[in-house]
Every structure is written in C-alpha cells, then in structure tokens.
C-alpha cells in the first residue's frame, strides 16, 4: 500500500558516531526505444530540492523501524514518486548539513524503477526529470 504522506520528525532517526544516517537512491531505467521496447541507453531520475533550484537524487533519514532497503524505497517514493528494486550499495559518504553544523553519513543505492506514479507525497514540492546517462 502506498502512503500519500511523507514521514516527518527526527525521533526515529538512526545515528552512527553522532552522524545522522541518510539513505539515498539513484533511480534509473532503460530508455524506451521508438519501437516500444527498451534500448541500451540508461536514464536517471533527478528531483528538485525543496529549498533551491538544485537537482539531486532522492535521499533522507534512515529510521529505526525500517531496513536500509526499506528506507531507500520510502525516500524514492516520497520524494520522486517512483517504485522499484533496490540493488547493492554503491558506497557511503560523509557530508555537512547545509542548514546546521551537523555531519551526516550517507549510503547510496541504485534503484531500478518499475513504476512511476502520477501522485506522490511530495509532488507539490518537487519537480522530477529523467536525464540520459552518458
């Protein structure tokens, strides 16, 4: 079942050595060819930031009541309106929050998109765009 409300609050957030754990996805799909089938080109989905015109991949906090894969799927659904299969972890990175003097630890996964929704929790706050991977 799809929830049409994004999670809010930080009371369930996971931390590692004082750093908030953040999970993200790089949603991708095989481009549809002119004949209706797929071709070898890949497209990745980027979304707009809520605070600026910057484009980025969906990401957000990993909460205590979910696996890392569930968190990655939830963030992709809430922010980008896509559902798919989470694949093996690409890596981790440490970054400083833009709004606070806090550091986060991020984990990133590819997400093979199987469905793109017309309605999703943050549709009114974000734009999404498929771009060709070259």
For the chain, what are the domain ranges? 15-133
Per-residue confidence (pLDDT) for residue 129, from 0 to 100: 97
Per-residue confidence (pLDDT) for residue 39, from 0 to 100: 67
Indicate if the alpha-carbon torsion angle 113, 115, 117, 120 is positive or negative.
negative
Residue ranges of alpha helices (H) inside 14-129 are 68-75
Q: How far apart are CA 93 and CA 103, in angstroms?
A: 10
pLDDT in tens, 43-98: 999 999 988 889 999 999 999 999 999 999 999 999 999 999 999 999 999 998 87
Residue ranges of alpha helices (H) inside 11-99 are 68-75
- Structure-derived torsion over alpha carbons of residues 52, 54, 55, 59, reported in degrees to the nearest 10: -60
- Structure-derived torsion over alpha carbons of residues 86, 96, 102, 21, reported in degrees to the nearest 10: 10
Per-residue confidence (pLDDT) for residue 108, from 0 to 100: 97
What pairing do the DSSP bridges indicate for beta strands 103-116 and 38-48?
unpaired
Q: Check pLDDT > 80 for residue 32.
A: no
Q: How far apart are CA 20 and CA 7, in angstroms?
A: 16
Q: Check pLDDT > 50 for residue 1.
A: no
Per-residue confidence (pLDDT) for residue 102, from 0 to 100: 85
Per-residue confidence (pLDDT) for residue 16, from 0 to 100: 92
pLDDT in tens, 88-124: 999 999 998 877 778 899 999 999 999 999 999 999 9
Q: Are 92 and 99 in contact (CB under 8 A)?
A: no
Per-residue confidence (pLDDT) for residue 100, from 0 to 100: 74
Per-residue confidence (pLDDT) for residue 59, from 0 to 100: 95
Domain 15-133 sits in CATH 3.90.79.10: yes
The partner residues of 132 in beta bridges, in order of sequence, read: 43
Q: Are 45 and 82 in contact (CB under 8 A)?
A: yes
Task: pLDDT band for 11, please (50, 70, 90 cuts).
Answer: confident
């Amino acid at each position: 079942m799809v929830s049409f409300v994004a999670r809010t609050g930080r009371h369930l957030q996971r931390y590692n050595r004082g750093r908030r754990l953040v999970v993200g996805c790089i949603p991708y799909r095989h481009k549809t060819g002119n004949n209706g089938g797929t071709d070898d080109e890949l497209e990745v989905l980027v979304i707009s930031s809520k605070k600026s015109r910057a484009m980025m991949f969906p990401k957000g906090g990993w909460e205590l009541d979910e696996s890392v894969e569930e968190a990655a799927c939830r963030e992709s659904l809430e922010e980008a309106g896509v559902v798919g299969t989470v694949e093996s972890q690409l890596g981790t990175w440490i970054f400083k929050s833009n709004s606070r003097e806090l550091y986060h630890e991020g984990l990133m996964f590819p997400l093979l998109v199987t469905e793109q929704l017309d309605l999703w929790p943050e549709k009114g706050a974000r734009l999404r765009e498929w771009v060709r991977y070259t």
